[in-house]
Amino acid sequence: MQERLPRKLAAILYADVAGYSRMTGQDEDATHRSLRQRLDQLAETIESNGGFIVHYAGDAVLARFDAALDAVSAAIKAQELFNLTAMGENGGNEITFRMGINLGDVIEDQGDIYGDGVNIAARLETLADPGGVCISESVRTALGNKLPVDFESIGSQQVKNIAEPITAYRLLIGGAAKTIKAVNGASQTDRKPSILVVPFVSRTHDPEDGYLVDGITEEIRLGLCRFKGIMVIARGSSNKVMEQSMDSVGAAKQLNADYLLEGSVQKGGSKIRVSASLTKTSTGQQVWAERYDRTLENLFEIQDEVSQRIITKLIGSIEEESKDSALRKGTDNLTAYDCVLRGNHYFGDWRGSRENMELAAEMYQRAIDLDPQYAAAYAGLASVRFRCFEKGWTDAPEETGEASFRLARKAVELDPHDSLARLVLAVASFKVRQNVELTHTQIQAALELNPNQFWNYCFKCWFSTCVGDFEEGIHCGIEAIQRNPLLPDGCLYSIGFAEYLAGRYEKAIEAYGRMSHPYPEDEACIAACYAQLGRLDEAKEAGKEFRRRIASEDPDKDPGSDPQKWKDYWLELFPLKDQAALDHVIDGLIKAGLIT
């Protein structure tokens, strides 16, 4: 079987002139002069927004961008410019473009791009109005709320030579270029208020209540996470500072949190008391405190009430609809909810053991049996299946991987607003199905739904690096670390590799140097960095450290000096979609003497 050609994720803009043949028949010279002027203006707008022209085909233009945001910004600005200057040119026959934008995989070859990603952009152009822009669902998801522009869904469209229907949106352009300029020129120093939610404590000291107390803390934290006006410090960092026996206010200050939420849970029979307080870190002043005495059947009510009170204190006036989305619950069945809390406890935030995965799976499956419409239970079980697939804890890896994909897709179908479901579907889409476009769509949706979730940014950091968007990968890694400052190794791992691939070898070494526990492969990449900088003695030492560690920690994966084994080794860690990126890695390893 022939090797699959490498692909790269790109935003593609296809523009074509409406009614060009008719205008040419009326006045060929005037039409061509107007076309040349418009094409020059379009090219300038595309390049000023980070894109480049791939080719011209008569009155049509194909352009490529690294980001959907840049492609849409360019299209809006160009159409605004054309609309403002289309006053009676060519005897009233103005050159008017239709534009289509898609985000998808492309094949690069001899200066051109090919594939369904390009074909869909061309078909979207035919759905646009003259002077308008039509975008795919993947572009709409990637944009989120980043541009102050409205969209109109035109539903699922069957277009020529594309097997599956595509969901399309029209951009409602009107003064949008001005608002984009305002957004691009706006200050980036605006800072959201941040809050540290420390683990609530149990007043009954019963180990059996541990999962319940953790679950209450996590549900309140997640309620806050869904609010874009707040930055919530990740649970991992919170747990880590509290393990250092530091007082809560000191922990909040160490993590640069503006506010601190702490509380306790006391359970007695069927009754429960939850106490919570909110403190302003800078002054140590208690902003709000409350105690709730309820029965266990009212547990959801308590969690909602605590979250709502805190949101009100931090944000002030909030629309009721936004509150409802922040306080969403997935089930009314308390027993099913209890099972999911137990499953989350065993799962251990993607770090659980094989034995704990079996216990977590049992809990999630029990929750599904109790409430077959409970999205969080499906998302949890999908996470378990994927971890077993990734770690090799299964006798049927293909079936286990597919199960994780199907379960995650089911969770998204049941609750499209569940950020975890979107994240797990993104992970399975890339690692099980190798579907770059679906992965990008799902991780963008996860980030839109929960912009405070460390794992959303951490995965996108790694994914962006794999598909060749190194700058986005580094950006997402930094965003992840801001949300989880004490557990950055996984993100620094990807940031270091992205910096190497971007040719910034000293920055890559710096990123690896910040890791608490570097992996053996990091030593190999450090060796490649030193070699690329011409610091061969240091490259040799790093290479020796790699050999020592791989021999003691994972000898079965030692690639030796064989170039193909090294390629396989790196592709397992980072399934790079660009052959040039892989060649860059191999070049550094050869210079470092690890490949002979």
For 64-109, give the DSSP string: EES-HHHHHHHHHHHHHHHHHH-SSGGGG----EEEEEEEEEEEEE
Can you give the pLDDT at residue 306? 64
Give the bridge partners for 62, in sequence order. Answer: 14, 55
Asked whether the beta carbons of 325 and 223 are under 8 A apart, the reply is no
Can you give the pLDDT at residue 184? 39
From residue 340, give the alpha-carbon distance in Å to each of 14, 207, 297, 302, 596. Answer: 47, 18, 16, 18, 52
Can you give the pLDDT at residue 237? 66
Q: Exposed, middle or buried by CB within 10 Å (0-12, 13-18, 19+), for 45?
A: buried
**Distance, CA of 559 to CA of 52 (rounded, Å):** 39
**Distance, CA of 233 to CA of 249 (rounded, Å):** 14
Element (H, E) at 159: none
pLDDT in tens, the chain (596 residues): 455 667 788 899 999 998 877 787 778 888 888 888 899 899 999 998 889 999 998 889 999 998 888 899 999 989 888 876 654 444 445 788 999 999 888 888 777 888 888 999 999 998 888 888 999 988 887 776 677 777 777 877 877 777 778 888 888 775 433 333 333 333 333 456 778 888 888 887 777 677 777 877 877 777 777 666 677 777 766 665 556 545 787 777 767 777 888 888 888 777 888 888 888 887 777 777 878 787 777 667 666 666 566 655 544 422 333 334 444 456 667 788 878 888 888 887 677 789 999 999 999 999 999 999 999 999 999 999 999 999 899 999 999 999 999 999 999 999 988 888 999 999 999 999 999 999 999 999 999 888 878 889 999 999 999 999 999 999 999 888 877 776 668 889 999 999 999 999 999 999 998 888 888 999 999 999 999 999 999 999 999 999 999 999 889 889 999 999 999 999 999 999 889 999 999 999 999 999 98
> Measuring CA to CA, which residue among 463, 474, 542, 468 is closest to residue 508?
474
Can you give the pLDDT at residue 116? 85
Q: Where are the beta strands (DSSP E) in 110-157?
A: 112-114, 133-136, 150-157
Q: Where are the beta strands (DSSP E) in 414-546?
A: none
